[in-house]
Amino acid sequence: MGQARRNVLKNGLLLAGGVALPSVARAAIESNALIEQFAARLSAHDIDGFAALFDDSYVNHQVSAATPPPPQGMTPKQGSVAFFKARLVGMPDLKVTIEAQLAADDKVAASFVYQGTHGGTYFGIPPTGKPLRFTSCDIFRVRNGKLAEHWGMGDLAGVLAQLKG
C-alpha cells in the first residue's frame, strides 16, 4: 500500500474517531489511486490507458477560450483525451507529478505539475526546445472507478508566456 493510501486510511480513521469506515476509506483510496494513474499514464505517454480512466459519459465543466468545448460530433471524453494527446505531442518528454491530493465522498482533488520540453507544435506554436513547467488544480467526481466529471483551472497563460518568452 502506497504512502498516500496509508495516509488517507489513517486520516479517515482519525476523523471517524477510530472507528473504521470501510466503504468511505476504500472509496478515498480508490479515488486517490485513480489520480495517481492519471499522472502515471500521462507520464508514460499511454494515451489509451489514460482514456480508459474516463467514464464514457464524462462531463468537463472546465470550458474556456483555452480549453474550448469539443468539436461537433466529439464527446467530452474524446475532447479531453484529444487535449492531452496534443499536450504529449507538444511536450514529447512530458512528466506529470502530483503536489497534493485529497479525496472526500465521490470527489478527488489534485494539484498537478507538468514538466517537459517544447519539442512539438503546442497551442499552434512550433517547437522552441524550451523547458516548460506549469500547474493545474483539478477536482474530479468519481463514479464506478472512473473519472465522471471535472472542474479545474490550469495555468495556460503561464504556458503561453513560457512558449513566447
φ and ψ of 47, to 5 deg? -65, -30
Q: Residue 120's pLDDT band (boundaries 50, 70, 90)? A: very high
Averaged pLDDT of the chain = 87
Average pLDDT estimate for 2-21? 50
Burial class (CB in 10 A: 0-12, 13-18, 19+), 19: exposed
The CATH classification of domain 3-164, taken from the options 3.40.50.10190, 3.10.450.50, 3.40.50.450, 3.20.20.100: 3.10.450.50
Q: DSSP assignment, residue 59? A: E
HSE-CB for 63 with a 13 A CA cutoff: 10
pLDDT tens, residue by residue, 16-73: 455 555 676 778 888 899 999 999 999 999 999 999 999 999 999 988 766 778 889 9
Q: Residue 123's pLDDT band (boundaries 50, 70, 90)? A: confident
pTM for the model: 0.83
Pairing of strands 107-117, 54-60: unpaired
Query: Which residue intervals of the chain are DSSP H helices?
Result: 3-15, 22-43, 47-51, 76-90, 156-164
Domain boundaries, the chain: 3-164
φ and ψ of 130, to 5 deg? -75, 145
HSE-CB for 53 with a 13 A CA cutoff: 25
Q: What percent of the chain has pLDDT over 90?
A: 65
